[in-house]
A and B are shown apart, each in its own frame.
Chain A
Amino acid sequence: EVQLVESGGGLAQPGGSLRLSCAASGFTFNTYWMHWVRLAPGKGLVWVSRINSDGSITTYADSVKGRFTISRDNAKNTLYLQMNSLRTEDTAVYYCARGAQQDYWGRGTLVTVSS
């Protein structure tokens, strides 16, 4: 069974940092692109970033470019999102999703940016 479990969310101050993790199981992690997508309160889904299977290609939404870094450790079957220079508008539930079609999603981890 495919499982994606996010962790690392919490409360951060504006300008602060958080590192999210997504532990994957039930599939061959190192053969899939992976994505981060977020859902802010009262808003719709917004794509954040993606990374290819070996980590050599990364792409970011303009809203997070230069502040967030996506990475992966295929030996640990884990996807990461390093979030720096956090803003209040980054407050959202962050989901990891599998593959080019984003066919499986985790349950998300809540990030709250507030002073």
Chain B
Amino acid sequence: QSVLTQPPSASGTPGQRVTISCSGSSSNIGSKTVNWYQQLPGTAPKLVIYTNDQRPSGVPDRFSGSKSGTSASLAISGLQSEDEADYYCASWDDSLNGWVFGGGTKLTVL
């Protein structure tokens, strides 16, 4: 069982906006920043959001992140077929003295 909690699945139709949640605690999200990773099947994970709401160069502005208290969210607007992937949140955990990931959310574009 993962320290950070994500819904196992999410879906949307092309053009829609979808949101993926990530719930943690005071020892991780509540006091540390959150990153989000996208993993297409058979490929390496790719950083899409860092430090809660920052987009790396090259990531479309359709991707956005937010954090409030001990929870964080990844939003994807203008959904496209190429967004179909697994998405993971991650944060440092002071109690465990290590990085923790969510269990991953499989996004399906219908």
Chain A residues near B (Cβ < 8 Å): 35, 37, 43-47, 50, 59-62, 95, 97, 101-108
Contact = CB atoms under 8 A, between A and B. Distances in A.
B47 A101 contact: yes
Nearest to B101: A45
Interface residues of B, number: 23
A103 B44 contact: no
Tell me what chain A mostly uses at the interface: helix, strand, loop, or mixed: strand
27 contacts: A35-B99, A37-B99, A44-B88, A44-B102, A45-B37, A45-B39, A45-B45, A45-B88, A45-B90, A45-B104, A47-B90, A47-B98, A47-B100, A47-B101, A59-B97, A59-B98, A60-B98, A62-B96, A97-B45, A101-B35, A102-B35, A103-B50, A103-B56, A104-B47, A105-B44, A105-B46, A107-B44
